[in-house]
Amino acid sequence: MSRAGIFETIVGVVVLAVAALFLFYAYRASGQDSERGAYRLDAVFGRVDGVSVGSEVRIAGVKVGSVSANSLDPQTYEARVQLAVSSGVAIPEDSIAKVVSDGLLGGAHVSIEPGASDVMLKSGEQITLTQGSVDLLGLAVQAFTSNAGGEKPPANDPLGDL
């Protein structure tokens, strides 16, 4: 084998090793491996903007699971979300699940605030206390357009004379 052939073989092996490392990283980052040692919890939210399959589930900012499925309830028009929580993490039954934004331009994750109950949720049970996502853009538009008409403040408004 010539030097060029040996060099091409080495470069090929390096490329395959880098590709294998990339696939391993992508698999770990997707959260698919964390669902093996996990139990399922359900939660119903009014809005889940930014939360999709694979989004993180966190307690105190620490990842303890991921979103394994989400769907729309056709009768109530609420979002049903399935959470895969690590088996080593017990969630009290009076915990609160919230949809929290990762930032102004980022996605969102589900944050669980543990309650004080001694009774823990079992696989397949539902977190009953939930808070959906807040539409920040909608709130900003509403705040700016509510005073856009140039209306005079009410007479009893202490700032009306300014």
The structure's pTM equals 0.66
Determine the Cα–Cα distance for residues 162 and 147; give it in Å rounded to an integer.
Answer: 15
Calculate mean pLDDT across residues 19-48: 79
In 3D, which of 114, 80, 111, 112 has the Cα closest to residue 94?
114
What DSSP line would sit under 54-101, residue for residue?
Answer: T-EEEETTEEEEEEEEEEE-TTT--EEEEEEEETT---BTT-EEEEEE
Higher local confidence (pLDDT), 96 or 7: 96
Model confidence over 66-110: pLDDT tens digits?
999 999 999 999 999 999 999 999 999 999 999 998 876 778 899
